[in-house]
Amino acid sequence: MQSIRAQPPPAFHRPYSLSRRSHHQSAASLCDDGADCTDDGGVSVRDDIGALLRVMPPDIRGLLEEHPQRSSLVEIVLDLGRRPEARFAGQRAESLREEEVTLEELEAAASSLGDFGGDNRAGIAGTLHRFSAIRNRRGKVVGLTCRVGRVVSGHVELIRDFLFADSSSVLFLGAPGVGKTTVIRELARVLADEGRQRVVVLDTSNEIGGDGDVPHPALGGARRMQVPSLEAQHLTMIQAVQNHMPQVIIVDEVGTEEEALACRTIAERGVRLIATAHGRTLADLLKNPTLVDLVGGIQSVTLGDDEARSRGTQKSVLERQGSATFPTLIELRDRNTWLVHDTELSVDALLAGRLPVVEVRSRDATSQKVVISAAQFDVGGQFADSARASQAPLPPPLATSAAPRKGRKGR
């Protein structure tokens, strides 16, 4: 890419305060079965960790049941011949005992789970916990990664102002573990129950709707289609449109050219698509030849002498090839800080060597208000507040109008 220069900041929404009534009502409905529930900073968390701990060896189970950091447990790692470890959010892994994991303990844990699929993942019916196996060359399980699945309610408030007013497709981008799957699970419930829309969730590894044939209550009224294998995900996406008349399709971890093509096909049929992909920033996605078509693709264009001189560029430049499959792209920097891109404007700016200006959406820790500000995006993954420097007047929130924001195209 060319050298980057700053782009003038456009107008963005004023910070706004959200009513939490609907959030608490929906969260309460997920917490009425005796499971551990917490409300932390406007986000309700349902923790069904007891079901996961029952799979563990008795001494490990007893230790974690009384552990002071139990609510922040992310995963438990059991590897043959090594000490078991627990990983907590924002902390280093903690060894749980001096004795090494035995083959008998691994076999007992694996036998208490459902069947492992072709992706070596299994689960517990009625929960969102995920168990991933490591096998030796003979196919025997020699390691387990036991990931805690939690129902989180409240993150959708960060985009509620345009979630219903704007019908464009949305791509969530973020590193593994930042909470992408948790967010789209809540979106499925909110769009189905509050928006009264026909929502179909494509669940490749039963990670969104949980193990078993009956989807987890966290999906609300959304329907769930299980995908038999990773290779069949793009075919199931097209089948969902052809057979079930959805208004919204939700899919996790778009990662192949076939899936990217299926996304474009679905968007062109007038169905709203909400998906996730791995990647730190939009700039990184532009360098990914497999997924760059999701944001419009890139082509090399040769300019005439006069045009190149007027632009102040070389004769050969990179431009966006077509319209973006996802007019809105949201980077999840952490669970409470999201960067919202108008995809086409941001891609055009980056390809032209400018820094796009994005919306930074975060939750105030004291007031629980969602705060939206303009910020200069940096290709290195950082951003600096530019709203104060611009002093530009901010228009009313999008929720007051049914029209999409400038640059967003309804699908």
Q: Which CATH number goes with the domain that contains 122?
A: 3.30.450.90
Q: pLDDT of 95-121, one tens digit each?
A: 999 999 999 999 999 999 878 888 898
158 and 130, same structural domain? no
How far does Cα 204 stand from its chain's mean position?
15
Q: What pLDDT shows up at residue 42?
A: 62
Query: What is the Cα–Cα distance from 2 to 393, expressed in whole angstroms?
Result: 31
Look at residues 60, 20, 280 and name the one whose alpha carbon lies nearest to residue 153: 20
Is 290 a member of any domain?
Answer: yes
What does the block give as tokens for 398? 């999008």
Counting residues of the chain whose pLDDT is more than 70, the rounded percentage is: 81
Question: Strands, E, within 280-409: which ranges?
Answer: 298-302, 316-320, 328-334, 337-342, 354-355, 357-363, 370-377, 383-385
Residue 197: half-sphere exposure toward Cβ, Cα within 13 Å: 22
Work out the average pLDDT over 384-393: 38
Q: Which two tokens stand for residue 317?
A: 């430049």
- For residue 259, count other CB atoms closer than 10 A to its CB: 22
The pLDDT assigned to 166 comes to 81
By the 8 A CB rule, do 230 and 252 touch?
A: no
Mean pLDDT (the chain, rounded): 82
Does residue 28 lie in a domain region? no
- In the block, which residue shows the tokens 């530019």? 386
Q: Is 344 found in the same domain as 256?
A: yes
Average pLDDT over residues 245-265: 94
- Write down the pLDDT at residue 405: 38
Within-domain flag for 410: no
Instruction: Examine the domain organization and report whether 173 and 142 are in the same domain.
Output: no
Q: Is 287 in the same domain as 365?
A: yes
| Separation of alpha carbons 228 and 236, rounded Å | 9
Q: Are 170 and 274 spatial neighbours (Cβ–Cβ below 8 Å)?
A: yes
Instruction: Give the residue numbers spanning the domain of 75.
Output: 49-148
Instruction: Tell me the pairing of strands 354-355 and 223-226.
Output: unpaired
Q: Which residue has the higher pLDDT, 249 or 310?
A: 249
Written as six digits, the tokens of 99 are: 């004795």
Q: Are residues 83 and 184 in the same domain?
A: no
As a whole number of angstroms, the distance between CA 195 and CA 169 comes to 15
Boundary residue ending a domain (148, 179, 213): 148
Segment 71-82 mean pLDDT = 94
Is the same domain home to 78 and 164? no
Same domain, 159 and 302: yes
Q: In terms of domains, do 342 and 370 share one? A: yes
Same domain flag for 125 and 160: no
* Assigned domain for 44 exists: no
* Number of domains the chain contains: 2
Give the lowest-confidence range in 45-49, 77-81, 107-111, 400-404. Answer: 400-404
pLDDT of 91 > 50? The answer is yes
Residue where a domain terminates, one of 148, 163, 190:
148
Whether residue 368 lies inside any domain: the answer is yes
Q: CATH no. for residue 168?
A: 3.40.50.300
Bin 135: left if φ > 0, else alpha if -120 < ψ < 50, else beta.
beta
Residues 179 and 279 in one domain: yes
Higher local confidence (pLDDT), 196 or 26: 196
- pLDDT of 231 over the 90 cut: no
User: Nearest Cα to 94, choosing from 111, 116, 74, 122?
Assistant: 74
164 and 260 fall within a common domain: yes
Q: Which of 106, 127, 148 is the last residue of a domain?
A: 148
pLDDT in tens, 337-358: 899 999 999 999 999 888 899 9
The predicted pLDDT at position 126 comes to 86
User: Is 27 domain-assigned?
Assistant: no
In a domain, 135, yes or no: yes
- Report if residue 268 sits inside a domain: yes
> In this structure, are 112 and 176 located in the same domain?
no
pLDDT-derived band of residue 40, with 50, 70 and 90 as boundaries? low
> pTM of this prediction?
0.79
Terminal alpha carbon distance of the chain: 30
